[in-house]
Amino acid sequence: MLKDDYIKCKNCAKKYSIKKLKRDEDIINGFCEEKNALELSKELKLNYKTVKNRYDEIRSKIPQFLEDVYNSMPKDYSEYEEYYYFTKKQKLNNIKSLYEAINIIGFYSNEKVYTLLMPNLKHRRESHAGSEYEEYLNWHKIYSKESYKTNLYDFWKYLEENLKKYKGIEYEYFFFYLKESEFRFNYSKQEQLEILKNL
């Protein structure tokens, strides 16, 4: 224990502010409780940008953690499916073109979901005239037998519901929200807390 509410690690000699550690723990708790950054900043009486930056940092760490878990476990691939995600705005405008959708491939292995974000198809529109390529994609879509009964079906429903709370997500950031949904679906809140504290 040091003066002014600081502690020092006896192994690495690094100094930590107890107040800052408590703040970070409160932010992790808020993230796991699925409170948005604005809501939590008001609750903790912190600057919105402070909380938002911490949330962004958490979201940037989650994909690597999920990748490490996936690479370390034996693969059974009991389920795998392709999914086309349309934003709320696209649905309201009745846009159903696969060129506008976000293409995701999901695997269910060892009782966990793992997702891959596929390349954006928008740039293909010009090089593939007409609807033939779009029909080809739809016809050759990967899906599981009795897909409405699978764990991936439950995840796709969860993903749709979970992303509704965000007022639009830019495509360049969609990957991080996809992985956040995967993380929340795979782990209980208590497990999320322990994982994020270790990260």
In a domain, 174, yes or no: yes
- In a domain, residue 1? The reply is no
Residue 51, strand partner residues: none
Query: Inter-axis angle of helices 189-198 and 48-72, to 10 degrees?
Result: 100
* Residue 192 maps to a domain: yes
Written as six digits, the tokens of 188 are 């209980």
pLDDT for the residue 160: 92
Per the domain annotation, does 155 fall within a domain?
yes
Look up residue 80 and give its amino acid.
Answer: Y
pLDDT number for residue 91 = 67
Question: Would 50 be classed as within a structural domain?
Answer: yes
Tell me which residue range forms the domain holding 79. Answer: 6-198
- Does a structural domain hold residue 137? yes
Instruction: For residues 63 and 74, give the distance between their C-alpha atoms in angstroms, rounded to a whole number.
Output: 19
Based on the structure, what is the number of domains in the chain?
1
Q: For residue 147, what pLDDT is reported?
A: 53
State pLDDT tens for residues 30-55.
999 999 999 999 999 999 999 999 99
Provide the whole-model pTM: 0.80
Give the model's pLDDT for residue 195: 97
Plot region of 2 (φ>0 → left; ψ -120 to 50 → alpha; else → beta):
beta
Listed as ranges, residues in the chain with pLDDT below 70 are: 77-78, 90-99, 121-148
pLDDT score for 75: 74
Nearest to 98 by CA among 80, 118, 119, 122: 122
Strand partners, 104: 83, 117
**What pLDDT was estimated at residue 96?**
64
Per-residue model confidence (pLDDT) at position 136: 47
